[in-house]
Structure 1
């Protein structure tokens, strides 16, 4: 049970490829550690925006003038730590450390640094940067130092912790499509236990893991790297982080690419969750169209409606009688784990062969490969340990956005979503339920972000993106005062470096030369 703000498709595709080769899952190179505590309430966004147009205050000067001490840390990367205020409203108080990695530019014509965020919220920017040769083109790697960081509350940067590994297994396996009052009550108890676990283990951090604070940290990092203007590539949730940064620090941007955009004006329940559910339905239909061309397609007949019914029957059956689990870890592959496995492979077209095989096995009662796919999305290792991705995802979302505080609102929204998106609607909608019981009030609001005064910001949208629907990219490009929309007639989550030469060349030209494509440019489907 989780909200699909989205990890980048690059990490998902790489790990799914590992499944193809070895029939076992893997996790990213996140170099996890558990250090430190966390921040206190941020000032209002309007105050921060005003401050951002001026020089940093005297109290923030020690942070903006710091120099990162870099040390070698495997494969030509350098690792460092960035000090930031626990509470930007009290910069003289407690400090925390943000973990950073850097891969120096490979060429002589260095421009500066490019900061990366893979999404989530909760995705490790450190792990993402370590995949730099896949994430960025050789031309960009030549001219820019690649910099990844774990946002506060994530990974190595004062991580939020809520549940143990076995407790997370139980939480994620809760029936996410309750169809009786008893099942609703069980789901509510699990959501409340999750929220209480976060309060018990991370109470000091929870009010201060919001995106606005992460954006402020990013500006301190920009200064510490010696860049007058930020060059940034954000995917999925990383587009929201980038848009918030742009709204707070519009004059501090050099180039910003927001790929797989989130619409910041939408409330999560019902609007965001309903749109995501629709996106996964669209992605599944695209998968079916491709599957029907293959002799190994496991669906009876070659009819979309029949295939959707066959999958719906599989999910219902798993709800009553879990699929077989050959991993030996004892988990029951119920409807929730089955759904997660399917969703994982829908993030990237390159994972569709794995999904074909996994569904063929599932129709024969074996859910093992679907379980391994699900483990990729929730970042669970084979030994039963998790990164803090799931916990950070919930903690950031719950503080970033107002959520309903009546379970009847979730019930009503789930019913409506189920009618519109029969396979995924109810499951996605109920995924936000822990925020009903969250122990701290949200500090963020749902509103358009304009970033008035910013240079051109490139918003990239994929027309059949499952996790961040294309309509969101169009909305964000319109909201931003300098937004430029670049569209891709493609499948999967995000577009840059996933197979389209047209997209890659347009992004590279903008990042390197600051020449944006014409607003509304459409890159054709790759066949």
Structure 2
């Protein structure tokens, strides 16, 4: 790929604001390519049963499965233990070199018969560290689950404290002076294409050897390695958002090694990259209009002039705020610029939470052009490492990483605007995310049935914007042993989001293997 010449440069925080996609916005094997099927058969012999934690593995992988983990108190989190382990860069060629995986755990509080094993946790992303994700939620698990399980998280390859994807955008990336949307309100597809081309060039320059080996297929194999090293015969797993895709991939690769698996806010592995973002655009429209309807009941609603205002009025108000900021951005600090597209980014982020008070406050401040609006508006807290790992994982998966040209993305714009008048244009530009990525997808879109697994619990929220409810329905139907638990509510994912019904159902499943009755709907 050749970098387009340019004399302008977008500061890091503008790059972050333009490129940062939502963290849970936020995707294996029976239908994969014949090449990968042959590799899989070579490493996991057909019919092998996981009768022990270290089930038979090929000689080339044995040294990885026989490691001894050295758990020590985490420097910044003494209540947790931390360790590192080695994994092959390329499972098909174990002699090609190693990568490092970082892991953390919180030991189970129970003893004896109370203890079940380890529960591996992945919060989604992709590109977000699982370690810090577990640190943030471990104490919110019920005392019964904390007694039964060591809570364990592994930063996926390419992410966090594991061997990271490094795109070095500080020194290597010069971008054309183009935002995601022009001041006229139309997507700048050519500008977005140039941005992604230069970003891809920088990632290839600094992490080219790693990029082909950070996909979900490899991350699922790393999960199996971790399962063996913590001494479990079966993998007990809780995955949220795109973490559900990791769990689904594991179930297809290792059906006989699946234990109790919860997939919350599921990704449908049969979707393509186009519908990944089209469905999300529609999901955020539904969530926004749900917010607007709630806001209409409140006297302090910032997107209506009186109690009882219409959703249409809220839509017009949001459009006006976005247009005003694109034409005259807020500048709350040196080198910090808040445009209308930054506002859309933070609105979609806020819509993933089930409580909307912060969003009302934020929109009120923006409407009054308060320059001390929360710093998160600028998306300046997005790390460049997140952008690299997010892109690297997405682009190896057909369901996650569309590769549209500017002309193709522009042709899709009317459909995106039709399903989402407020967010469609914004999301149409994400169709170009992987157009210049140096590694093609290794995971095709296809239905995953994972025959031979124990029951798998799939959880979906009816107005989940990032992983629409229809995806959870589809996955539960595809899986040969899937059972759907529905939360009728707002926000992204359901576990630990305030529903006693959901939390209790998940606890019963994790502790006793007890599935909720067919058709269970929680609030």
2:325 matched residue in structure 1: 318
Aligned to 1:60: 61
CA displacement 1:84-121 (0-9 Å, x = unmatched): 10110111230111000011011222211000100110
TM-score normalised per structure 2: 0.87
Query: Is this contact kept in 1: 2:22–2:345, CA < 8 A?
Result: no
Larger radius of gyration: 2
Does 364-373 or 311-320 show the bigger shift?
Answer: 364-373
Structure 1 position 391 matched with structure 2 position 367:
no
1:146 corresponding residue in structure 2: 151
Determine the C-alpha separation between the residues in 2 that align with 1:478 and 1:392: 30
- 1:510–1:181 distance in 2 versus 1, CA, 3 Å: closer
| 1:484-513 deviations in Å (ceiling 9; x for gaps) | 100000110000111111101110000111
Q: In the alignment, what sits opposite 2:443?
A: 444
| 2:189–2:409 Cα contact (<8 Å) kept | no
| Cα deviation digits, residues 326-375 of structure 1 (max 9, x gap) | 2x23222112211111111111022x111101101111223653641553
Which residue matches 1:35? none
Look up the match of 2:264. Answer: 259
The answer to whether residue 487 in structure 2 is matched with residue 472 in structure 1 is no
Distance 2:155 2:107 in 1: 18
- Deviating runs (4+, > 6 A) in structure 1? 166-173, 177-182
Question: Which runs of 5 or more residues in structure 2 are unaligned?
Answer: 1-18, 27-32, 49-55
Aligned: 1:99 with 2:99: no
Q: Distance in 1 between matches of 2:120 and 2:342?
A: 33
Please give the per-residue CA displacement for 1:226-262, whole angstroms capped at 9, x wherever unaligned. Answer: 0000000000000000000100011101100000000
Structure 1 pair 117–360 and aligned structure 2 pair: CA distance change class (3 A): same
Rounded Cα–Cα distance in structure 2 between residues aligned with 1:43 and 1:216: 17
**Is residue 83 from structure 1 mapped to residue 86 from structure 2 by the alignment?**
yes
Moved more, 179-188 or 75-84: 179-188
Partner residue, 2:499: 500
Q: Are the equivalent residues in 2 in contact too, given 1:455–1:482 (CA < 8 A)?
A: yes
Q: TM-score, normalised by structure 1?
A: 0.86
CA positional deviation for 1:50: 7.4
Find the aligned partners of 1:42 and 1:92 in 2 and give their Cα distance.
Answer: 22
> Compared with structure 1, are the counterparts of its residues 186 and 42 closer, same or farther at alpha carbon in structure 2 (3 Å cutoff)?
same
Contact map agreement 2:395 2:402 (CA 8 A) in 1: yes
Aligned to 2:278: 274
Matches within 5 A, 1:337-486: 337-350=342-355, 352-366=356-370, 368-369=372-373, 371-373=375-377, 375=379, 379-380=381-382, 386=383, 388-401=385-398, 403-486=402-485
Cα distance per residue 1:250-282 (max 9 Å; x no partner): 11011000000001101111x110100011111
| Alpha-carbon contact 2:25-2:467 (below 8 Å) kept | no
Counterpart position of 1:284: 288
Matched residue pairs, number? 481
Deviations 1:27-65 (A, max 9, x none): xxxxxxxxxxxxxx9961464267445231121111122
Specify the SS of the correspondent of 1:506.
helix
1:163 deviates by: 4.1
- 1:114 to 2:119 alignment: yes
User: Does residue 1:305 correspond to 2:323, yes or no?
Assistant: no
